[in-house]
Amino acid sequence: MCLKIEYKKIQEECGIFGGYAFCGHIAPYIKCALLKLQHRGQESAGICCGDEVQNLYKDFGLVNSVFKDYEISNLKGAFGIGHVRYSTFRDDRKENIQPLKIRYMGEDVSLAHNGNVSQAAHIREKFEKIGEVFLSASDSEVILKRIVFSLKKKPSEWTYDEVAKCINDNFSLGSYCIVIFTKNRIMAFRDPWGYRPLMLAKTAQGYFVASEDVAFWGLDVEEIVEIQPGCSVEITSGGVEYKTFDTTKKHKKCVFEQIYFASAASNIFSKNVYQTRVCLGELLAQCEDSDFCADVVVPVMDSGLGCAIGYAQKSGMPFHLGLVRNSWAERSFIQPEQKNRKNNVLQKFMPIKSVVEGKRVVLVDDSLVRGTTSSHIIKILKNAGAREVHMRSVSPKILNTCIWGVDIPTKEELICHGISDSKIAEKIGADSVKFLPLDMMKEVFEGDNWCLECFLEDRG
């Protein structure tokens, strides 16, 4: 499949949450959920709550630093949405932090989304030519402005069918999950392709939607449902309605949700993330030459943990935590600039010298994208006395850019593009490197409803 789409410069992989709390105060539930989704975005966080009038608070930083007791107590209302954000380039404009809230015809309406909607730049340009002004560089503003312009009536009068049609007509090629908050109502939409996950929970505390089901942990859950591609939910105080707006597209779920982005505790696309990573590690161990041997298997935390456990179990090599992860450091892959990634790796990982000193180490990670993180980790291990470091990736070689918002901007930045395994090992300072073959990975991600575009040298 080859899609000719005009893409914006800001691409996102974020976390969203929203719903209705029976107790009348949803903000504490949103904060708890965003903490569990913090791995999806660490640049900024925002919460918008209310009933007829919406109260918004958002800022740069991690969830716990943005939302203290004072902010949460002042975010009144039974309905609300929340967002944690990651952008792929340095972005110091507070206007881009989500949720986005506007006031139209005397009523508040807010929106947050995860993904990369298509044609946003084209729609923005068309609006600007007729005199419209945008206050942010976010797709959220484009989506909301498109809906307002199309419906031209109070948000409380928007019908589900009208909003769904507007989104699908204008952003049908996008990879998105969108939550919209109007007067006493939440609407949540998952794109017809199904690239990004969206979950619904019915609990004793209320009705909620989230990017991952781990966000519901700690609630008294009665039922969790994966919102299917091209489907949506409408939440009011009267309950939840599950609806469909487009089932015509062939599903293309992002494998990186399972390999990297999602929490190991989550169930994404009907698969447990931790078990998937263990299985990938086991398959990777099967790829080793019969004479290959090492002293210890070490994971790159956190997404490489299950992978390394699977590798160690299958290979019979000992498993140890040779690296301690600083939980307060941000994820290096989602740092907006390369120099930030380098500094973050040095702050994030600390070696356990007694585990790696004098040892032949198998270092297992989820993937190699730019090679930045891997090269610095290998240097850390060798400075701690590791005799050899053999890099292993449970994903195949990443050979192409992502057209749906994962931070892989150019082929030239990809460590695997156009060079051999031995050259890759040389560039990152490893004694050897090995990748899980694409055909073997397909044994885990069965069927043709997974997006594998980034593993293909040329898109057909």
DSSP, residue by residue, 190-243: E-TT--S--EEEEESSEEEEESSGGGGTTS-EEEEEEPPTTEEEEEETTEEEEE
d(CA 41, CA 38): 6
- The domain limits of the chain are 15-251, 269-455
pLDDT in tens, the chain (460 residues): 333 333 333 244 799 999 999 999 999 999 999 999 999 998 999 999 999 899 999 999 999 999 999 899 999 999 999 999 986 444 568 888 999 999 999 999 999 999 887 778 888 888 888 988 888 888 888 999 999 999 999 999 999 999 999 999 998 777 899 999 999 999 999 999 999 999 999 999 999 999 999 999 999 999 999 999 999 999 999 999 999 999 899 998 999 999 999 999 999 999 999 999 999 999 999 999 999 999 999 999 888 999 999 999 999 999 999 999 876 665 444 444 545 555 566 667 899 999 999 999 999 999 998 888 899 999 999 999 999 999 999 999 999 888 776 666 678 888 998 899 999 999 999 999 999 999 999 999 988 899 998 898 876 5
Nearest alpha-carbon partner for 387 in 293, 308, 301? 293
The SS3 of residue 260 is helix
CATH 3.30.565.10 for domain 15-251, yes or no, is no
Contact 406, 256 (CB under 8 A): yes
Phi-psi region of 399 (alpha: psi -120 to 50; beta: other; left: phi over 0): alpha
d(CA 97, CA 273): 28
Known catalytic residue at 14: yes
Residue 92 pLDDT: 65
Residue 137 pLDDT: 83
- The DSSP H or E segment spanning 181 is strand 175-182
Residue 334 pLDDT: 43
CA 144 remoteness from chain centre = 22
d(CA 425, CA 433): 5
Residue 343 pLDDT: 56
The SS3 of residue 1 is coil
Measured over the CA atoms of residue 413, residue 212, residue 6 and residue 1, the dihedral's sign is positive
Residue 413 pLDDT: 84
Measured over the CA atoms of residue 86, residue 89, residue 91 and residue 96, the dihedral's sign is negative
Instruction: Identify the burial level of 238 via C-beta atoms within 10 angstroms of its C-beta, where 0-12 means exposed, 13-18 middle and 19 or more buried.
Output: exposed
Other Cβ atoms within 10 Å of 230 Cβ, number? 22
Identified catalytic residue from 2, 14, 49, 402: 14
d(CA 133, CA 124): 9
Q: Between 120-129 and 139-151, two packed helices, what is the crossing angle to 10 degrees? A: 60
Residue type, 312: A
Q: Note the pTM of the prediction, 2 decimals.
A: 0.89
Which tokens in the block code for residue 387? Answer: 């005799």
Which tokens in the block code for residue 403? Answer: 């057209």
19 strand-pairing partners: 80, 208
Its CATH class, for the domain covering 269-455, is alpha beta
Residue 115 pLDDT: 85
Contact 29, 63 (CB under 8 A): no
Residue 330 pLDDT: 55
* Helix, strand, coil percent values for the chain (each to nearest 5): 30, 25, 40
d(CA 153, CA 327): 47
Which tokens in the block code for residue 353? Answer: 């010298």
Residue 460 pLDDT: 52
